[in-house]
Amino acid sequence: MTGRPRLAFLALIAAAVVAVAAACTTGGPVSSVTAPAGPGPAARPAGARDVGVQLFQWTWDAIATECTDHLGPAGYGWVLTSPPQEHVLGSQWWTAYQPVSYRIESRLGSRTQFAAMVAACHAAGVGVVADAVINHMTGKDSPGTGWAGSAYSHYDYPGIWSDAAGDFHHCGVGPADDISSYRDAYQVQNCELSNLADLATGTKHVQDGIVAYLTDLRSLGVDGFRIDAAKHIPAQDLAAIVGRLPAGTRIVSEVIRGSGEPVTPEQYTGIGDVLEFAWGKDVTGMVRGGSLRLAAGLGTGSTYLPSDKAWIFVENHDTERGRATLGYADGADYVLANVLMLATGYGRPIVYSGYGFSDRDAGPVQDAAGKVVDAACPADVGPRVRYTDGEWVCQHRWAAIEGMVGWRDAVGDDPVGDPWQHGDAFALSRGTRGLVVLNGGNVEVAAQVPTTLSDGSYCDVAAGPAVEGRCTGDAVTVRAGLGDVHVAPHTALALHVGARVGD
């Protein structure tokens, strides 16, 4: 995947939509998406979709419905699923991160349901990235049976991996072979992460098995993979695996940036894209400290991955539980951080969407057989700061976040203009296509904000979409290069060329 054009993925989604449209008119089947030939466009044109959403622990059926009813219409470009392979039993969410086999049978749904979800999302113009757990197997010391009935023990997965075949690392550090220091690259990549049986990814046998699993998912139409725990897989091993996947496979490696650690996100950029954990951490500090404007400059320093390699997020399922970053319970500040992520130009944004919890280990609501119950968003779409345990938060539908997804699609890669500042408020424009005004203070801001939008009346899409030519939120007038804005404390206002009304 080395050196693939930055926007091959977007071209891939476009190819999917074209393929679907063709299939619909001819009545032919929609099976998988083929990779685009040749280099893609050098920049993201307005209207192209680059925003993703992590639907954490959503079932395949629920994702399919969400793609059709909300993600596609709202302008989301792709969805990140939870791991789809067979896993250990247990009610906790993290059972998904302990593979027992590579059968696509989990408490989130069957292989058939998974394939149907991919097809439904593609038909809605939404790509699918699956979470691929390929660094390890289970962390269970006692033998057991997986979700789909496969028997296993810690270092023996019949028909797949065994110690006898040399499929596992045993690093020889400490009594349990666990990583004890992240400052030692040998330990990070040869010892066990939390007792999880560590695959010897340097061997041909292990690489063959992982390639077969990922290729199988590709045959079901998946567009790309989040490589879970990539830091614990030597970059050369991962490169060898990814190099054997079908052309056009999108890769994003999970390599958490850690101070003083020898294994760095930069070591994985030759393989594909990489999750940039620093963004969410830094934006959290800036929003909490009332320095919203500084967030506009995030990513420009040398301590960040290059923008065209970075996938950024305010929070993910781990940081949400570690409370290291802003989350839904932070209410308005959380929304402002998401608005900043979607408004600024650095990286590829991922919106997070999870469920309420008070116990970090608690899984999503499950039925008597252990199957996850399909997500249903509350009738009163948030933001709220309190959700009962297991209640779906559906941040991706919150008006300001969903509105900003459409805003980002409308502004495309238009350049970020000079920020405007007025007390605790600041405004950011993108070329001649969009304006965002954020108010981090405790009093309403009423101001005439310079903008390159042409004269007219625009819907504030952070308050609600334009529906049949009318605003569901406030309308804002732009006249002679000035937007007449009123922004309530700790909220944002967003205008774009696609939500102009009354012409």
Residues with a catalytic annotation lie at 228, 254
The two beta strands, 466-467 and 470-471, are antiparallel
Q: For residue 481, which of 444, 456, 455 has the smallest C-alpha distance?
A: 455
Single-letter code of the amino acid located at 236: Q
DSSP state string for 304-331: S--GGGEEEES--HHHHHHT-S--GGGT
**Please, what is the minimum distance in Å from the beta carbon of residue 427 to ligand ARE?**
35
* CA–CA distance, 201 with 199 (Å, rounded to integer): 5
User: Would you say 314 or 428 has its CB closer to ligand ARE?
Assistant: 314
User: Would you say 61 or 192 has its CB closer to ligand ARE?
Assistant: 192
User: Would you say 57 or 207 has its CB closer to ligand ARE?
Assistant: 57
**Please, what is the minimum distance in Å from the beta carbon of residue 374 to ligand ARE?**
22
**Please, what is the minimum distance in Å from the beta carbon of residue 328 to ligand ARE?**
18
Single-letter code of the amino acid located at 97: Y
To the nearest 10 degrees (0 to 180), the angle between helices 332-343 and 399-411 is 10
Q: For residue 118, which of 107, 108, 130, 106 has the smallest C-alpha distance?
A: 130
Single-letter code of the amino acid located at 176: A
- Residues at the contact surface with ligand ARE, assessed by CB under 6 A: 94, 97-98, 133, 139-140, 182, 193-196, 228-229, 231, 254, 256, 258, 261, 317-318
User: Would you say 94 or 420 has its CB closer to ligand ARE?
Assistant: 94
Q: For residue 347, which of 314, 299, 301, 303 has the smallest C-alpha distance?
A: 299
User: Would you say 98 or 187 has its CB closer to ligand ARE?
Assistant: 98
* CA–CA distance, 443 with 441 (Å, rounded to integer): 6
What are 302's two structure tokens?
Answer: 């040398």
**Please, what is the minimum distance in Å from the beta carbon of residue 140 to ligand ARE?**
6
User: Would you say 321 or 408 has its CB closer to ligand ARE?
Assistant: 321
Phi first, then psi, for residue 214 (nearest 5°) are -70, -35
**Please, what is the minimum distance in Å from the beta carbon of residue 97 to ligand ARE?**
3
328, burial (CB in 10 Å: exposed 0-12, middle 13-18, buried 19+): buried
**Please, what is the minimum distance in Å from the beta carbon of residue 467 to ligand ARE?**
38
The two beta strands, 491-496 and 434-439, are antiparallel
What are 280's two structure tokens?
Answer: 């969410």
